[in-house]
Structure 1
Amino acid sequence: MGKRLKPEEIIAKLREVEVRLARGETAAAAARAIGVTEQSYYRWRKEYGGLQVGQAKRMKDMEKENVRLRRAVSDLTLDNQILQEVGAGKVLSPSRKRIAVDHVVEGLGVSERRACRVIGQHRSTQRKPCSLRDDEEALTTAIINLASRFGRYGYRRITALLRRDGWHVNEKRVYRIWRREGLKVPMKQPKRSRLWLNDGSCLRLRPAHKGHVWSYDFVQDRTHEGKVFRMLCVIDEYTRECLAIRVERRLNSRDVLDVLGELFVTHGAPEHIRSDNGSEFIAIALREWLGNIGVKTLYITPASPWENGYCESFNSKLRDELLAREIFYGLREAKVLIEGWRHHYNTARPHSSLGYKPPAPEAVLPAAFIPPYYGGVAA
C-alpha cells in the first residue's frame, strides 16, 4: 500500500498533470507519469481542482475542526443522556452516586470512568466497598424510633437524646443516617385524634441569673367542638424553664395574680417580669400588687413582640410541638396534655441554647404523679 499523500503534494501532482496535458499528453499517460491510476487522478481533480496550497491547508484544518466538534457534540449528548438516566435533582451522597454510576454503566453501556466523571464520583470511592459499622443497624433503628416519637425534632435534638441514652455518636453520623433514611421535619402535620380520655379527661434587660427576669404571655387555642381556651405561660428567661401554664376558658388579671402568687411562694419573686401591653398585664391591681412585693415590670413597645423574644420562642415551640398536632376533646384533656408537655419540656427536651440540655433536669423522681409526654402521647 502506497504512502498517503498530503493535500499539498496532491495539488503539486495535479499541477504537473495540467502541464503534461498542455503539452498534448493524454490523461491516462499523465496519470501514469505521476504514479497513480486515471480514476485516482479524476477523483483528486474533483476534490482539489482549482485550489491553491494555502486553501488546501485551511480546508484540511476545517475538516479536523468539524470532526472535533462532532465528537464534542456526541460527548455532550452522551453526558446529557447519563444525567437524564440518573434522574432529576442532584445526587450528593457517595452511596447514592455509587448506585447511580452502576445504573448508568448497566443501562447505557458506557465506561465506569466516563460515568464517574459525569456524575462527579471519584473512581476510588466508586470501587471502595461500602462497609457499615457493627452498630449501624441498631443506631438507625434508634434514630427512626426517636424521629417517630418526637416528630418535630431535628437531627441535632435527636443526637442529644441519643447521647442521653448512652450512644457515643456525633451529629455528622446522625445526619448521614438521617438523610439516608429520608427523615425530615415536615412543615405541616395533621392533628391526631385520641382514642381515650374523650370525656374531657430591641433594647431590653437581659437576664443575668436565675430569677432575674421572668416573662409571661397568653396563647390561645380551641378544643374539638370549636370553643376557645387560653393559656398563661410563665418562663424564667435565664434558665428557659417553663414555670407554669395555666389553662382556662377565660383568664383575666385576677387569674394572672393568682398564678404569680403561687409561683412566688414556690420559686421566690423575681427582680423583673416582662410582658406585652395586654389589658390583663397592665391592670392597676396587678401593677400595684407587683410594686408592693418589689417586682419591677418591663413592658415591651406596642406591636413589637420581638422584644419579648424568650416567651415568644417558647410559645412557638408549644404550638409547633403540641397544639398544632393534638385534638383536644375537652378542657380537662387539654390541661393534662399541656402539663405533661411542660414537664417534658423542663426535664427531658434538649434545648439548643443550653447546649442541648433540658432547662431543669430532675435528679430524683417527684413524689406527685405528673403524666410524661411521649411526643404527643401522654401515658
Structure 2
Amino acid sequence: MGKRAKPEEIIAKLREVEVRLARGETAAAAARAVGVTEQTYYRWRKEYGGLQVDQAKRMKEMEKENARLRRAVSDLTLDNQILQEVGAGKVLSPSRRRDAVDHVVEGLGVSERRACRVIGQHRSTQRKPGTPRGDEGRLTEAVIHLAERFGRYGYRRITALLRADGWHVNEKRVYRIWRREGLKVPMKQPKRSRLWLNDGSCVRLRPTHKGHVWSHDFVQDRTHDGKVFRMLCVIDEFTRECLAISVARRLNSRDVLDTLSELFVQHGAPEHIRSDNGPEFIATALRDWLGRIGVKTLYITPASPWENGYCESFNSKLRDELLAREIFYDLHEAKVLIEAWRQHYNTARPHSSLGYKPPAPKAVLPAAFIPPYCGGVAA
C-alpha cells in the first residue's frame, strides 16, 4: 500500500495537472503523468480544488479537531448513560459499587475498565471477592439486640456497649452493619450557643471538679390513669452523675430539702447548687438552710432554661429514653422503673461527653480479693 499523500503534495499535483490540461492534454493523460488515476484526480479536485496550501492544512486540522470533539461528546454521552443506569445519588460502599459495575457492564455492554472509571471503583476492588469475617453474623445479632433494647441509642453508643461486652470492634464496622440492617439513627438535637460576654468571659459558672456544682430541676409525667406525678432530678454537673430522682405525686420545698439533706450526708455538700426560679427552689426555708450549710445558690435568668444546660440535657434524655417509651400503671411502678433507669444511666450508659464511658461505673474487684467483714475466711 502506497504512502498517503499530504495536502500540500496533493495541491501541487493538482496545479501540475491544470497546467497540462491548459496545454491540451487529456485529464487521463495528465493524471497518469503525476502518478495517479483519473478517478483519484477528480476526487482530489472535488476536495482540494481552489485551496491554497495553508488553507488545506487548516481544513485538515479542523477535521481532526471535529473528530476529537465527536469522540469526546460520545464518551460523555456514554458516561452519562452509565451514571443514569446506576441511579441518583452517590454509591459509597465498595460492595454497592461492585454491584453497580456489574449491572452497567451487563446492561450497556461497556467494558469493566470504563465502568469502574466512571463509577469510581478501583479495578482490584472490583475483581476481589468480598470475604465476610467469621464473627459477622454474631456481631450483627449483638448490634440488633442492643438496638432493640436501647431504641434511642445511635451506633456510637452501641459500639461502646459492645466494647463493654468484650467485642474488639470499631465504629466504622458497627456503622456499616447499622446501615446495612436499616437501623434508624436518632436525630441530632440542635446545639445551643454559648453564653459569652463581650469581654470573652462566660456567664455561667463552669464546674471544675466533683462536688463543685450540682443542679436540680423538676420533670412532670402522668401514670396510665391520667394522674400527674413529679420527679426531682439532682445531678453533679462535672461527673454527669445523676445523684437522685425523687418521685411523688406532689413535691414542695420541704421535699426538696429532705432529698438534698440525704444527698449531702451520702456525698457531701457541694460548693454551689444551680436551679431555676421555681417556688420550690427559692423558698426562704430552703435558702436559709443552704446558707447555714455553706452551699451557694446559682439561680438562672427567668425564662432561660439553657443556662441550666446540664440538667436540661439530662431531663431530655430521661424523657426520650424512658418516659416516652414506658407506660406507668401506678406510682410504685414508676418509682421502680425510674430508679432502674437511673442506675443504668450512672453505671452502664455510655456518655458522649465522657468519651462514651458511664458517669459512675461499677468498681470491678479482682477475683482473689476478699473484702474485710464480708464473711470471708482470713488466709
User: What TM-score, normalized by structure 2, do the two folds share?
Assistant: 0.84
Equivalent residue, structure 2, for 1:305: 305
Equivalent residue, structure 2, for 1:244: 244
Aligned partners of 2:260, 2:169: CA distance in 1, in Å? Answer: 42
Equivalent residue, structure 1, for 2:39: 39
DSSP-derived class of the 1:281 partner? coil
Aligned partners of 2:9, 2:35: CA distance in 1, in Å? Answer: 12
* TM-superposed deviation, 1:301: 3.1
* TM-superposed deviation, 1:69: 0.6
Equivalent residue, structure 1, for 2:54: 54
Unaligned ranges ≥5, structure 1: 189-201, 365-379
Does the CA-based 8 Å contact 1:216-1:233 persist in structure 2? yes
Equivalent residue, structure 2, for 1:207: 207
Does the CA-based 8 Å contact 2:154-2:186 persist in structure 1? no
Answer with 280-289 or 226-235: which moved more. Answer: 226-235
Aligned partners of 1:175, 1:3: CA distance in 2, in Å? Answer: 65
* TM-superposed deviation, 1:223: 5.0
* TM-superposed deviation, 1:136: 1.8
Does the CA-based 8 Å contact 1:229-1:247 persist in structure 2? yes
* TM-superposed deviation, 1:258: 3.1
Q: How does 1:1-379 map to 2 (within 5 A)?
A: 1-187=1-187, 202-223=202-223, 228-328=228-328, 331-363=331-363
Aligned partners of 1:298, 1:258: CA distance in 2, in Å? Answer: 19
Over 3 Å counting, the alpha-carbon distance change for 1:175 and 1:41 in structure 2 is same
Percent identity over the alignment?
89
* TM-superposed deviation, 1:250: 4.2
DSSP-derived class of the 2:245 partner? strand
Does the CA-based 8 Å contact 1:216-1:235 persist in structure 2? yes
Structure 1 residues 222-242: Cα deviation after superposition (integer angstroms, max 9, x where no partner): 556666543321111222111
- Matched residue type, 1:67: A
- Matched residue type, 1:243: L
Over 3 Å counting, the alpha-carbon distance change for 1:64 and 1:226 in structure 2 is farther
Over 3 Å counting, the alpha-carbon distance change for 1:324 and 1:66 in structure 2 is farther
* TM-superposed deviation, 1:329: 5.2
* TM-superposed deviation, 1:27: 2.3
Answer with 118-127 or 72-81: which moved more. Answer: 118-127
Aligned partners of 1:354, 1:56: CA distance in 2, in Å? Answer: 77
Answer with 292-301 or 72-81: which moved more. Answer: 292-301
Q: Which structure would you say has the larger RCO, counting Cα contacts within 8 Å and 6 or more residues apart? A: 1
Over 3 Å counting, the alpha-carbon distance change for 1:293 and 1:7 in structure 2 is same
Structure 1 residues 20-74: Cα deviation after superposition (integer angstroms, max 9, x where no partner): 1222222233223223333322222221111111111111111111111111111
Size of the alignment, in residue pairs? 351
* TM-superposed deviation, 1:332: 4.8
- Matched residue type, 1:58: R
RMSD, aligned CA: 2.4
Answer with 44-53 or 27-36: which moved more. Answer: 27-36
Over 3 Å counting, the alpha-carbon distance change for 1:49 and 1:331 in structure 2 is farther
DSSP-derived class of the 2:186 partner? coil
DSSP-derived class of the 2:298 partner? strand
- Matched residue type, 2:276: D
Equivalent residue, structure 2, for 1:198: none
User: What TM-score, normalized by structure 1, do the two folds share?
Assistant: 0.84
